[in-house]
Amino acid sequence: MAPKPLKAQTIDAAQIPDLVPILSIVAACAEGTTTFVNAGRLRIKESDRLETTTAMLRAIGVTVEERPEGLVVTGQPKFTEGTVSGANDHRIVMSTAVAALRSEGSVTIFGAQAVRKSYPHFFDDFARLGGVVSLEQDA
């Protein structure tokens, strides 16, 4: 039996704000338009995560609308190549890396070292699972 496609939903992020960056990638893979509500707390995290999630998605060709308390993400079959600022935010960096798996072309993440905050070996594990990683040190 073939897996069923992901379908867009409305997601109340009040109790799960830290999941919004990665769930925005899932939403971008779903059919339809997903709306995240009650996510205003994300504006006071390591970065303004509504703003940085929006920038991340746009950088890889995803249609997204930023709202004061949430996001509206339109699903699509593939993402484009792009360059993303990690915004000194571990969740933005890890979400971007996962999104790169669905991108047509390479995705560059500036400030990828931010993963050290919560998952220092993220890129080692990502590569072991089949992700292609090329790390460069800042000059």
Which residues pair with residue 104 across a beta bridge?
A: 80
Q: Among the options 12, 18, 48, 89, which is catalytic?
A: 18
Q: How far apart are CA 75 and CA 17, in angstroms?
A: 20
Q: Is 89 a catalytic residue?
A: no
Question: What b/e readout covers 59-78, taking b as 16+ CB neighbours within 10 angstroms?
Answer: bbbbebeeeeebbbbbbeee
Report, as residue numbers or ranges, the catalytic residues: 18
